[in-house]
Structure 1
Amino acid sequence: MDLYTTYGSNDLPRAIRFFDAIFAVLEQPRLPGWIDGWAGWGTDPHSGTGFWVCRPFDGAPASTGNGTMIAFPAQNANQVRRFHATGLENGGTDEGKPGVRPHYEPGFYVAYLRDPDGNKLSCFYYHYDPEKDAGS
Structure 2
Amino acid sequence: MNIYTTFGTNDLTRAVRFYDAVFAVLDQPRLPDWPEGWAGWGQDYDNGTGFWVCAPFDGSPASTGNGTMVGFPAKNAAQVRAFHAAGLAHGGTDAGGPGTRPYYGPDFYVAYLRDPDGNKISCFYYHYDPATDAGA
Fold equivalence (TM over 0.5): yes
CA distance in 1, matches of 2:5, 2:92: 19
CA distance in 1, matches of 2:16, 2:81: 21
Measure how far apart 1:23 and its partner are: 0.2
Task: Return 5+ residue gaps in structure 1 as ranges.
Answer: none
Q: Deviations over 1:12-51 (max 9, x none)?
A: 0000000000000000000011111000000122122100
What CA RMSD, in Å, does the superposition of the two structures yield over aligned residues?
Answer: 0.7
Q: Which residue in 2 is equivalent to 1:35? A: 35
Measure how far apart 1:103 and its partner are: 1.6
Greater shift after overlay, 52-61 or 38-47? 38-47
1:8-87 mapped onto 2 (5 Å cutoff): 8-87=8-87
- Contact kept, 8 Å, 1:18 with 1:92, in 2: the verdict is yes
CA distance in 2, matches of 1:102, 1:132: 20
In the alignment, residue 129 of structure 1 is paired with which amino acid?
D
- Contact kept, 8 Å, 1:73 with 1:124, in 2: the verdict is yes
CA distance in 2, matches of 1:109, 1:102: 11
Q: Which residue in 2 is equivalent to 1:127? A: 127
- Contact kept, 8 Å, 1:73 with 1:123, in 2: the verdict is yes
CA distance in 2, matches of 1:20, 1:59: 25
**TM-score normalised by length of structure 1:** 0.98
**TM-score normalised by length of structure 2:** 0.98
Corresponding residue SS for 2:46: coil
CA distance in 2, matches of 1:46, 1:129: 33
Corresponding residue SS for 2:106: coil
CA distance in 2, matches of 1:59, 1:10: 10
Task: Return 5+ residue gaps in structure 2 as ranges.
Answer: none
Number of matched residues?
Answer: 136
Identity %: 74
Corresponding residue SS for 2:57: coil
Q: Which runs of structure 1 show a deviation greater than 4 angstroms over 4 or more consecutive aligned residues?
A: none
